[in-house]
Amino acid sequence: MFSPEAASGADEKRADELLEGLNPVQQEAVRASEGAVMIIAGPGSGKTRTLTHRIAYLIAARKAWPSQILALTFTNKAAREMRTRVTDLVGPDAKGMWMGTFHSVFSRVLRREADKIGFSRDFSIYDTDDQERLLRELMLRQGVDAKKYTPRSIRGRISSAKNQMMTPEAYAALANDPYMEVTARLYGPYNQRLRKANAMDFDDLLAWPIRLFEQHPDVLADYQRRWRYIHIDEYQDTNKAQYLLAKLLAAEHQNICVVGDDAQSIYAFRGADIGNILSFQNDYPEATTIRLEQNYRSTQKIVRFADAIIKGNTKQLDKKLWTENDEGEPVRLMEALSERDESQKIERTIRDLHVRGGIPWKQFAVLYRTNAQSRSMEESLRRGGIPYRMVGGTSFYQRKEIKDALAYLRLAVNPSDDASLLRVINTPTRGIGGKTVDGLRRYAAEHGLSLWQAAQEPSDAGLSSRAAGAVEKFAFLVARFASKAPHTPADELAREYIQETGLLQSLRDENTPESLVRLENIHELLNAVAEFAQADSDAPRTLSEFLQEVSLVSDVDRLGEEENRVTLMTLHASKGLEFKVVFVTGMEEGLFPLAKAAQDPTELEEERRLFYVGATRAEEILYLSYARTRYRYGESTSAVRSRFLDELDGDDLMRTESGARFAPRKDRFQLPDDDGAQGGYRVEYDADGGYSYESTPAQRRAAKSGYEQMDPHYYRTSLRPDAAKPARKKKASGGERSVEYEPGVAPEAAGSDVVPGVKVVHGTFGEGKVIAIEGKGERAAATVHFPRVGQKKLKLKFARLRVIG
């Protein structure tokens, strides 16, 4: 009989086998099943693998029932993979484990406990669109200028406040600038509206469980007992709410195992806090800390290259990483003329490696900093007939027609969902115009009703009889399916319902190539519902369950394992994954690092960690690329390659396309911070290497002293030291002074030994003593006192002074 307490000899043998694929340190982490354990280790060192084996071990050694295991991952895909791996390791015993992202696990908890916090179990989850629509409406009502204060950035502010567990009142007390004040005014009403709509936003999915546990200690105790073993992957990217949840749940038994890498923390902008790693030791003083040092993923060259990247950061725990893998190929750097050229080169390289090296498509990943960069890459791959899959951008569930269909489905499950109602009340058009909707809104606000409730009494809302008729018909449609929803299988309900909404018919009537694609998409959605409904053999699942799952899919989650395609995705999305061949693209100043990050040392370090994450996804071959011009904000702009490349040591790790050793430009270097430099620069390069910039006073000072300031922390002394081109004149904008630079010669090298105080001999004036030097390079001039003729100012370029002491 299966019992966690009584392990038989056979169980022990099975458990020991699970240790076989692990090295001794990893085994130690698996065996340390009781108490707090923290595994801090670099990329590819087997953190995730160790976690997976640890869970399998707990089950196989009968230390825990599967249902007593909680594993929190960063994506649902990671959770699915972990579940599959554990099932492979221990068989069907694995069923019943709680595995998923924080958001999916706790939304499940919230559904079970919804009534305790005043929600119904069918609450909706608002996505960013829904949130912004709601905010826009509140702003309109409060007379807030939506151009000056965008709903998007207000949403961002509310989101960070929620992540910090800050209430509207606490936020209002802190507000000290106009933006914060406007946000403070909207935050409370925004929450009330969510509640009225029986809806939660993403941040609520973490904030509400904390409140639930605080207000209901018995519920907390229940979950503490339920989850005897807690596991968290990618711990460095947890935010405050996630940290608190983990702490609350582990408080009783303290069996918590977290794994992470501070050098891979890349979500600070979303409230993640590396500090959580540091607090771990304080929260669990008995915690065992385990360090893994062997990398199993990448070649030696890639591991050393990654190490060189992260050395650029000052605030990093020192970690040694080594590997027994092959030495491997040097990292390749591609220079392209334009983004188009860049993507074509990548396309050719992928094809070549695929055809000649036999590497399957799915072993390639192209990573970029911003989603916008995917467009030209997609184009090249499409033209080349290479199958690809894009993660992010306008993903399937973000398409208009899909969101429309989902809004109908959501409404049937939760009619109070105002955002969904507004979305579809007149889609397809059914004669319910803006005025009618406004009338309903007003009526709802006056009587404290949801829009749905208002729509039940359209004639009381003061609508014309025609409008009221249209609203009634709509309400009847929704109500009919709402009453069926709880006891009808999801696929059956969805098919019939969507048919009756008229969405399909309207797309058919439109009969354009685009509308037919949309029609296809809706059919694909219905297929997805069917697949979901029938996936569980015990009983068909309901629409409510389907919607919950869909609200939480992130783009990475849709990454089909089975499919043999090249993957395109942002660097952020690539965390935790691995591919044989990886391209990190768009390595240009202003793009990677982003311009905004270049101004701030903290953000710059986060960008560098992102580079580190990207590079360490590669198992065998790593390519980096940059383009000299790129379309940004609708115009073609010249670009200069990323500082991240030039700060690398030019040792044996990187080669250019032609196979030459990479020569970093060591002319970019840091000046002391106290030089008084100020931010604000804009450098624009022509394709031929000419450039112009708008300078700040600090830049002009820097230029005077021989350095061109690129930003507060970086200076360049010449334009292209490696280019044998004549000196170029700066095309100064805004009437700035011109400065000449001598490519290839650092200005301070010109006029070398002639410095104030030295004795010199001049062909005509004889011996003299240098009093002062002005200017640099070509323009350098010395003031010399000659006992025979007095003081003279001489251009060094012509004077041919000889130093004699």
Ligand X SMILES: Nc1ncnc2c1ncn2[C@@H]1O[C@H](COP(=O)(O)OP(=O)(O)OP(=O)(O)O)[C@@H](O)[C@H]1O
Q: Catalogue the active-site residues.
A: 47-48, 233-234, 264, 617
State the nearest-atom distance from the C-beta of 328 to ligand X, in Å: 15
Residue type, 487: H
Interface positions, 4-63, toward Mg ion (CB under 5 A) = 47-48
Pairing of β 229-232 and β 256-260: parallel
Is residue 46 marked as binding? yes
The answer to whether residues 606 and 369 touch, using CB atoms and an 8 Å cutoff, is no
Q: In 10 A of CB 607, how many CB atoms?
A: 22
Q: Is the omega angle on the peptide bond into residue 428 within 30 degrees of 0, that is, cis?
A: yes
Integer Cα distance of 657 and 483 in angstroms = 64
**Quick one: CA torsion of 164, 165, 169, 173, rounded to 10 degrees?**
-30
Binding residue (CB under 5 A) for Mg ion from 168, 271, 576, 593:
576
For the record, the structure tokens of 347 come out as: 């396309």
41 or 194, CB closer to ligand X? 41
Residue type, 20: E
For the record, the structure tokens of 75 come out as: 């994506």
Number of alpha carbons in the 13 Å side-chain half-sphere of residue 124: 28
Beta-bridge mates of residue 762: 766
43 or 590, CB closer to ligand X? 43
For the record, the structure tokens of 629 come out as: 């011009």
SS3 536: coil
**Residue 297 binds which entry of ligand X, Mg ion, none, CB below 5-8 Å type-dependent:** ligand X
Integer Cα distance of 593 and 587 in angstroms = 8
Is residue 45 marked as binding? yes
Considering only 64-72, 576-584, 621-629, 643-651, which stretch makes contact with Mg ion by CB under 5 A? 576-584
State the nearest-atom distance from the C-beta of 45 to ligand X, in Å: 4
State the nearest-atom distance from the C-beta of 305 to ligand X, in Å: 15
* Residue 624 C-alpha from the chain's centroid: 19
The answer to whether residues 77 and 557 touch, using CB atoms and an 8 Å cutoff, is yes
The answer to whether residues 200 and 208 touch, using CB atoms and an 8 Å cutoff, is yes
State the nearest-atom distance from the C-beta of 78 to ligand X, in Å: 9
The answer to whether residues 39 and 47 touch, using CB atoms and an 8 Å cutoff, is yes
The stretches of 502-593 forming alpha helices (DSSP H) are 503-510, 513-535, 543-551
261 or 273, CB closer to ligand X? 261
Is residue 48 marked as binding? yes
* CA-based nearest residue to 158, from 149, 146, 148, 167: 167
362 or 728, CB closer to ligand X? 362
Question: What DSSP state is assigned to residue 422?
Answer: H
Is residue 240 marked as binding? no
Beta-bridge mates of residue 590: 594
22 or 639, CB closer to ligand X? 22
Is residue 42 marked as binding? yes
State the nearest-atom distance from the C-beta of 45 to Mg ion, in Å: 9
Residues that bind ligand X (CB under 6 A): 21-23, 26, 41, 43-49, 261, 264, 296-297, 576, 578, 616
For the record, the structure tokens of 85 come out as: 């791996």
Q: In the bound complex, which residue of the shown chain has the CB atom lying closest to ligand X?
A: 46
CA angle 601, 605, 610 (to 5 degrees): 145
**Residue 75 binds which entry of ligand X, Mg ion, none, CB below 5-8 Å type-dependent:** none
* CA-based nearest residue to 82, from 45, 109, 55: 55
State the nearest-atom distance from the C-beta of 567 to ligand X, in Å: 15
State the nearest-atom distance from the C-beta of 545 to Mg ion, in Å: 29
- CB proximity list for 248: less than 8 A, separation 6 or greater: 210, 213, 220, 224
89 or 109, CB closer to Mg ion? 89
40 or 405, CB closer to ligand X? 40
Is residue 143 marked as binding? no
Length of the chain: 805
The answer to whether residues 752 and 782 touch, using CB atoms and an 8 Å cutoff, is no
44 or 209, CB closer to ligand X? 44
Q: Got the DSSP string for 28-59?
A: HHHH--SS-EEEE--TTSSHHHHHHHHHHHHH
State the nearest-atom distance from the C-beta of 297 to ligand X, in Å: 4
**Residue 296 binds which entry of Mg ion, ligand X, none, CB below 5-8 Å type-dependent:** ligand X
- CB proximity list for 758: less than 8 A, separation 6 or greater: 769, 770, 803, 805
76 or 616, CB closer to ligand X? 616
Q: Find where tokens 């179990």 sit.
A: 121
61 or 321, CB closer to ligand X? 321
Separation in Å, CA 131 to CA 193, 419, 625, 728, 804? 10, 8, 37, 52, 76
Integer Cα distance of 354 and 361 in angstroms = 7
Integer Cα distance of 413 and 295 in angstroms = 48
Considering only 190-198, 449-457, 571-579, 694-702, which stretch makes contact with Mg ion by CB under 5 A? 571-579
State the nearest-atom distance from the C-beta of 53 to Mg ion, in Å: 13
State the nearest-atom distance from the C-beta of 103 to ligand X, in Å: 19
Residue 537 main-chain phi, psi, to 5 deg:
-70, -25
Q: In the bound complex, which residue of the shown chain has the CB atom lying closest to Mg ion?
A: 48
- Residues annotated in a binding site for ATP: 41-48
- Residues annotated in a binding site: 41-48
Residues in contact with Mg ion by CB under 5 A are 47-48, 576
